Amino acid sequence: MAQETRPEGNDGTGFFAKNGKIYDPDGEEFIPLGFNAATFWAPAVGDCKQANMYTKVPQSGANAVRIVSQVDGSFGWNSNPTTQRELIDSAISNQLVPMLEMHNATCGEPLQPIIDYWESETMVEMAKDFEKYLWINIANEHNFDSPEEWRDTYIDIITSLRSKGVKNLIVLDAGDRCGQDPEAPLTYGKAVLDADPQKNVVFSIHMYGFWRSEDRSFTDWTPPFLVEEELPKLKETGISLIVGEFALDDEAAGEGGPNYTADSVLAVCQRNGIGWYAWSFFDSQEAYYYSMVDDVCGDLSEENRTIAGKYFIPYLQEHASIPELMGSFLRVSDPQITVPRNNGSGSFFIQTNGDWTVETEDAWIEIATPNGTKNAKVQISTQNTDEDRSGTITIRTNTEVFDVEINQANVLNVNPTSIETPSFAGSKTIEIESNGDWTVS
Q: What is the mean pLDDT of the chain?
A: 90
* Mean pLDDT value across residues 19-45: 88
Task: Tell me what pLDDT residue 372 has.
Answer: 95
Burial of 433 (0-12, 13-18, 19+ CB in 10 A): exposed
Residues 58-85: pLDDT tens digits? Answer: 899 999 999 999 887 665 556 789 989 9
Task: Tell me what pLDDT residue 147 has.
Answer: 98
Q: 371-373 and 355-359: which strand pairing?
A: antiparallel
SS3 annotation, 363-428: CCEEECCCEEECCEEEEEEECCCCCCEEEEEEEECCCCEEEEEEEECCCEEEECCCCCCCCCCCCC
User: Residue 255: which residues within 8 A CB-CB, separation 6 or more?
Assistant: none
pLDDT score of 158 more than 80 = yes
Q: Which fold has domain 328-441?
A: Immunoglobulin-like (2.60.40)
Task: Tell me what pLDDT residue 55 has.
Answer: 84
pLDDT score of 213 more than 80 = yes
Q: Which CATH class is domain 16-326?
A: alpha beta
The ranges assigned to domains in the chain are 16-326, 328-441
Task: Tell me what pLDDT residue 434 has.
Answer: 62
Place 227 in a pLDDT band, splitting at 50, 70 and 90: very high
Task: Tell me what pLDDT residue 63 has.
Answer: 96
User: Residue 424: which residues within 8 A CB-CB, separation 6 or more?
Assistant: none
Burial of 232 (0-12, 13-18, 19+ CB in 10 A): middle
Task: Tell me what pLDDT residue 288 has.
Answer: 72
pLDDT score of 44 more than 90 = no
Cα–Cα dist 204/192, whole Å: 13
Q: How far is CA 353 from CA 61, 132, 382, in A?
A: 13, 18, 29
Task: Tell me what pLDDT residue 38 has.
Answer: 78
* Mean pLDDT value across residues 397-408: 95
